[in-house]
């Protein structure tokens, strides 16, 4: 029996395929094979089909499936505009989600700052990442793309004698074009969880 989250995924896929744009593959962007669309998501190969969502050939967890199905529903012609990166609090309607975003996206990484530094090459490699722009501050920083048109910039300060360690997560400038704000908060959370998973490899 499908749980409530899985029912949402199923409903979202029905909405997507009932009124699917002819150019959906270009909007995502994705590789199309019939009714299937394949693209990188959260460090894995994601396949969307009318039957469901797979990650690396395995059934996608339903909570993550909600995010990916929403991304597909909201797919549009606009290209990703990465810079200037913006804070989550600058997203429309972000106030109710700001506390949870800080806790589950940023603070969850603070205790692992030294490990993150060592794991940066793996993080960039697995999450379609790159170095942060030169203008970005921090002791170190990097950019990852959990979804093809959404980039996150992580800015990290190590602890010193005056200040504790800190992590800030910024979004690509027009991320709100591709997901609603609550789903962007979840995108940050699941990206940070994936970063920790990669760090532990």
Residues 129-159: pLDDT tens digits? 999 999 899 999 999 999 999 999 999 999 9
Residue 81 lies in a domain: no
Same-domain check for residues 97 and 11? no
Same-domain check for residues 63 and 122? no
pLDDT at residue 11 in the model = 96
- Tens digit of each residue's pLDDT (9 = 90 or more) over 74-127: 999 999 999 999 999 999 999 999 999 999 999 999 999 999 999 999 999 999
pLDDT at residue 201 in the model = 87
pLDDT at residue 3 in the model = 78
Same-domain check for residues 19 and 111? no
Residue 13 lies in a domain: yes
Phi/psi for 67 (5° steps) reads: -60, -45
- Tens digit of each residue's pLDDT (9 = 90 or more) over 29-74: 999 999 999 999 999 999 999 999 999 999 999 889 999 999 999 9
Same-domain check for residues 66 and 101? no
pLDDT at residue 44 in the model = 97
**Domain coverage including residue 178:** 86-199
Same-domain check for residues 41 and 122? no
- Count of structural domains, the chain: 2
Residue 79 lies in a domain: no
pLDDT at residue 1 in the model = 42
Exposure on the CB side of residue 176, measured as CA atoms within 13 A: 14
pLDDT at residue 2 in the model = 56
pLDDT at residue 200 in the model = 94
Structure-block tokens of residue 40: 């990188």
Q: Is the pLDDT of residue 173 over 90?
A: yes
Q: Is the pLDDT of residue 199 over 80?
A: yes
End-to-end, the C-alpha distance of the chain in Å comes to: 33
Same-domain check for residues 69 and 101? no
Return the residue matching tokens 């929403």.
70
pLDDT at residue 164 in the model = 95
Sign of CA dihedral 65, 108, 199, 30: positive
Same-domain check for residues 136 and 102? yes
Same-domain check for residues 90 and 170? yes
Q: Percent of the chain scored above 70 by pLDDT?
A: 99
Residue 80 lies in a domain: no
Same-domain check for residues 141 and 51? no
Return the residue matching tokens 């299937």.
36
Same-domain check for residues 109 and 164? yes
């Amino acid at each position: 029996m499908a749980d409530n989250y899985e029912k949402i995924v199923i409903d979202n896929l029905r909405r997507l395929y009932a009124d699917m744009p002819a150019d959906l593959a270009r909007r995502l962007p994705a590789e199309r094979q019939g009714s299937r669309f394949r693209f990188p998501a959260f460090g894995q190969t994601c396949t969307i089909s009318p039957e469901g969502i797979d990650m690396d050939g395995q059934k996608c967890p339903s909570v993550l499936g909600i995010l990916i199905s929403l991304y597909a529903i909201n797919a549009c012609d606009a290209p990703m505009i990465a810079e200037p990166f913006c804070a989550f609090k600058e997203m429309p309607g972000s106030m109710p989600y700001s506390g949870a975003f800080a806790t589950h996206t940023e603070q969850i990484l603070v205790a692992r700052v030294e490990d993150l530094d060592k794991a940066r090459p793996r993080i960039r490699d697995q999450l379609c990442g790159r170095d942060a722009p030169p203008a970005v501050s921090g002791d170190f920083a990097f950019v990852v793309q959990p979804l093809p048109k959404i980039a996150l910039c992580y800015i990290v300060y190590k602890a010193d004698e005056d200040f504790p360690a800190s992590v800030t997560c910024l979004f690509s400038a027009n991320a709100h074009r591709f997901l609603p704000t609550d789903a962007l908060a979840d995108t940050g959370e699941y990206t940070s969880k994936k970063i920790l998973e990669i760090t532990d490899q």
